[in-house]
């Protein structure tokens, strides 16, 4: 899913801020309809303010009009000067307010599209599901239908011919047949008995070529899904019907992913739940720090606020940002102090006091370590 504008990565392009009236700024209410695409960026020499009024939008930002990042747009935000931006509708309709001083349109190197999260494979209807026990004399030739079928061998051996290919399914093997495939099944061919389950259904399947004319072996995950399907197949409640459809869809999706080796390529040494927790935790901590830079923030106070140990918070920062928590806080204070000095509303001493530095000398040392010059030298280089 797309990152939110509260994500740390968005700070490279702007930040969240409510727009207040500014001299020389124009205000525009704009609406977008239909989930779509964009092929142009807009860029301004001054910060641009965006505020969502209705719907859900995706803000696309770029520094070079080639490489870009996408963020879900919910809260009022500022796009920094010189940053290319545009909006794409995600909800069929989006309405937003734009405040800007000047803006220029620049063609994007790529056409950028919103990719919906939606069904690529859907099971429309289950027509039947049967368990057959066949002796050694069973044959069924040249079967052809306008629906899909799943054959799962529970015990024994089943011979299948399809599209001029022959397969021998043993216990635990299964095959799919898509509409208008012609196939034959037999126990007589090998003189062996067989017990198998057959599920007949209608479906829209993306990449169905990954299913046809292939024999699959039931792994634990697929067998568990088949067992769950059987449990709800008694249809005691309407929710059982939904589960039956969902289990078949999940089986098909899992098989296709296995064919594409997506599951293997995405295996990491990290626990996915832990990774998600780390990201959410870090993001919450960064938001808290940003909102409390003018107050005293210590490692202990962060641990108390988020009910975690010093080891956890330190490891989270080092792993994701390659910096210690205190160093990050000091750097963010330096960035804020530069903005305050640049506003020409506060003296260096006032800024030092506002940000809670113990002395003007300590503030100056921290500032110089980050920017390479002292706060006073920085103030003399700022042009308004």
**Strands 3-4 and 68-73, sheet pairing:** parallel
Distance CA 243, CA 239 (A): 6
- Residue 235's alpha-carbon distances to 15, 246, 247, in angstroms, are 52, 14, 14
Kindly indicate the confidence band of residue 176, based on its pLDDT and cuts at 50, 70 and 90: very high
- Note whether 351 and 337 are within 8 A (CB): yes
Higher pLDDT, 8 or 85: 85
Query: Quick one: pLDDT at residue 1?
Result: 60
Could you give the percent of the chain with pLDDT greater than 70?
A: 94
- Residue 94's alpha-carbon distances to 57, 73, 115, 117, in angstroms, are 6, 10, 16, 18
Query: Quick one: pLDDT at residue 218?
Result: 87
- Note whether 358 and 348 are within 8 A (CB): no
Domains of the chain, first to last:
3-113 (2.60.120.10), 122-263 (2.60.120.280), 272-381 (1.10.10.60)
Rounded to the nearest integer, the mean pLDDT of the chain is 87
Mean pLDDT, residues 178-189 taken together: 94
Distance CA 198, CA 324 (A): 59
Give yes or no for residue 274 having a pLDDT over 70. Answer: no
Could you give the percent of the chain with pLDDT greater than 90?
A: 45
User: Alpha-carbon Rg of the chain, whole angstroms?
Assistant: 30
Mean pLDDT, residues 282-303 taken together: 89
Kindly indicate the confidence band of residue 270, based on its pLDDT and cuts at 50, 70 and 90: low
Kindly indicate the confidence band of residue 275, based on its pLDDT and cuts at 50, 70 and 90: low
Query: Quick one: pLDDT at residue 158?
Result: 95
- Note whether 333 and 355 are within 8 A (CB): yes
Residue length, the chain? 384
Give yes or no for residue 32 having a pLDDT over 90. Answer: no
Is 321 in a helix, a strand, or coil?
Answer: helix
**Residues in contact with 285: Cβ distance below 8 Å, sequence separation at least 6, in sequence order:** 302, 306, 313, 316, 325
Kindly indicate the confidence band of residue 267, based on its pLDDT and cuts at 50, 70 and 90: very low
Mean pLDDT, residues 212-238 taken together: 90
Mean pLDDT, residues 226-235 taken together: 90
Cα atoms found within 13 Å of the Cα of residue 338, Cβ hemisphere only? 18
Query: Quick one: pLDDT at residue 344?
Result: 82
Distance CA 237, CA 89 (A): 38
Read off the tokens for 209.
């070529």
Mean pLDDT, residues 165-183 taken together: 94
| Lowest mean pLDDT segment, chosen from 10-14, 192-196, 271-275, 317-321 | 271-275
Higher pLDDT, 324 or 272: 324
Spell out the long-range contacts of 167-175 with Cβ–Cβ below 8 A and sequence spacing 24 or more. 167/215, 169/196, 169/215, 172/217, 172/218, 172/223, 173/215, 173/216, 173/217, 173/218, 174/150, 174/215, 174/216, 174/218, 174/222, 175/150, 175/151, 175/214, 175/215, 175/216
Query: Quick one: pLDDT at residue 166?
Result: 95
Query: Quick one: pLDDT at residue 318?
Result: 86
**Residues in contact with 284: Cβ distance below 8 Å, sequence separation at least 6, in sequence order:** 306
Kindly indicate the confidence band of residue 256, based on its pLDDT and cuts at 50, 70 and 90: very high
Distance CA 64, CA 206 (A): 35
Give yes or no for residue 36 having a pLDDT over 60. Answer: yes
Query: Quick one: pLDDT at residue 35?
Result: 63
Q: Looking up tokens 């901590």, which residue turns up?
A: 285
């Amino acid at each position: 899913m797309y990152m939110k504008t509260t994500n740390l990565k968005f700070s490279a392009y702007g930040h969240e801020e409510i727009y207040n009236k500014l001299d020389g700024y124009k205000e525009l209410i704009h609406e977008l309809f239909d989930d779509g695409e964009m092929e142009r960026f807009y860029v301004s020499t001054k910060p641009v303010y965006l505020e969502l009024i209705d719907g859900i939008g995706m803000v696309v930002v770029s520094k070079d009009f080639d490489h870009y990042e996408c963020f879900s747009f919910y809260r009022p935000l500022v796009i920094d000067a010189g940053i290319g931006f545009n909006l794409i509708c995600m909800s069929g309709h989006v309405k937003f307010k734009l405040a800007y001083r000047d803006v220029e349109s620049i063609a994007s190197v790529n056409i950028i599209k919103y990719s919906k999260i939606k069904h690529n494979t859907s099971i429309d209807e289950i027509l039947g599901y049967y368990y057959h026990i066949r002796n050694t004399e069973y044959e069924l030739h040249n079967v052809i239908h306008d629906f899909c079928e799943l054959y799962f061998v529970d015990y024994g051996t089943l011979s299948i011919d399809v599209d001029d290919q022959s397969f021998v399914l043993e216990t635990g093997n299964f095959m799919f047949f898509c509409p208008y495939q012609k196939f034959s099944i037999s126990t007589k061919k090998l003189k062996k008995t067989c017990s198998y389950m057959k599920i007949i259904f209608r479906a829209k399947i993306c990449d169905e070529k990954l299913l046809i004319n292939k024999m699959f072996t039931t792994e634990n995950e697929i067998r568990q899904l088949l067992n769950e399907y059987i449990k709800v197949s008694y249809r005691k409640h309407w929710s059982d019907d939904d589960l039956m459809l969902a289990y078949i869809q999940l089986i098909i999706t899992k098989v296709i992913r296995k064919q594409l080796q997506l599951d293997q390529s995405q295996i990491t040494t990290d626990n996915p739940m832990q990774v998600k927790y780390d990201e959410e935790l870090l993001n919450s901590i960064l938001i808290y720090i940003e909102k409390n830079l003018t107050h005293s923030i210590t490692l202990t106070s962060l641990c108390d606020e988020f009910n975690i140990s010093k080891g956890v918070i330190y490891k989270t920062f080092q792993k994701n940002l390659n910096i210690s928590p205190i160093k990050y806080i000091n750097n963010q204070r330096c960035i804020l102090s530069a903005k305050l000095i640049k506003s020409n509303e506060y003296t260096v001493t006032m800024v030092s006091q506002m940000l809670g530095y113990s002395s003007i000398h300590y503030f100056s040392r921290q500032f110089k370590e980050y920017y390479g010059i002292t706060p006073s030298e920085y103030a003399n280089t700022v042009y308004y």
